[in-house]
């Protein structure tokens, strides 16, 4: 199973944002502990670096955080077709649309996000960390 994590979930984990940290962390832990592949998109990496900088982290610390993250996730490359398809998509948020197109092309099973309402027209299912945790208990 391939699961793509939206930027907000990764930031919840890295910044330990409350009240989201626990479920977000648990969903990542489940992916890394079972026969699943946890993924982020390549554009998510730059978003994470920017957001961590905004949270006051320096360059060295951001590099260390990213390297740790890279040991936990596979990075899915966004290509030109993903960008073109995202522009043509009915999804209103362009960033979300790019993630959806990339995840779909890479045959992901789920997108984990807190903003599931932004993904109602997505080509694949978006679920919250809590729903993912509950689903994994049923497996």
Distance (Å, rounded) from C-alpha 98 to C-alpha 94?
6
Q: What is the pTM of this model?
A: 0.93
Average pLDDT score, the chain: 94
Kindly report, residue by residue over 75-125, the tens digit of the pLDDT.
999 999 999 999 999 999 999 999 999 999 999 999 999 999 989 889 999
Kindly report, residue by residue over 2-13, the tens digit of the pLDDT.
999 999 999 999
Residues sharing a CB contact under 8 Å with residue 124, sequence separation 6 or more, in sequence order: 100, 103, 104, 108, 109, 110, 111
Q: Which domains does the chain have, with CATH numbers?
A: 2-134 (3.40.50.1010)
Binning pLDDT at 50, 70 and 90, where does residue 139 land? Answer: low
């Amino acid at each position: 199973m391939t699961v793509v994590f939206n930027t907000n979930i990764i930031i919840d984990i890295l910044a330990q944002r409350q009240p989201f940290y626990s479920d977000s962390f648990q969903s990542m832990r489940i992916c890394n502990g079972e026969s699943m592949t946890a993924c982020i998109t390549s554009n998510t990496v730059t978003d994470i670096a920017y957001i961590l900088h905004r949270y006051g982290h320096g360059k060295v610390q951001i590099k260390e955080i990213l390297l740790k993250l890279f040991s936990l996730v596979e990075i899915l490359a966004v290509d030109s077709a993903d960008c073109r398809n995202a522009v043509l998509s009915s999804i209103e948020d362009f960033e979300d649309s790019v993630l959806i197109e990339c995840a779909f092309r890479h045959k992901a099973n789920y997108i984990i996000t807190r903003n599931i309402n932004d993904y109602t027209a997505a080509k694949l299912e978006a679920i919250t960390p809590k729903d993912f945790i509950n689903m994994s208990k049923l497996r």
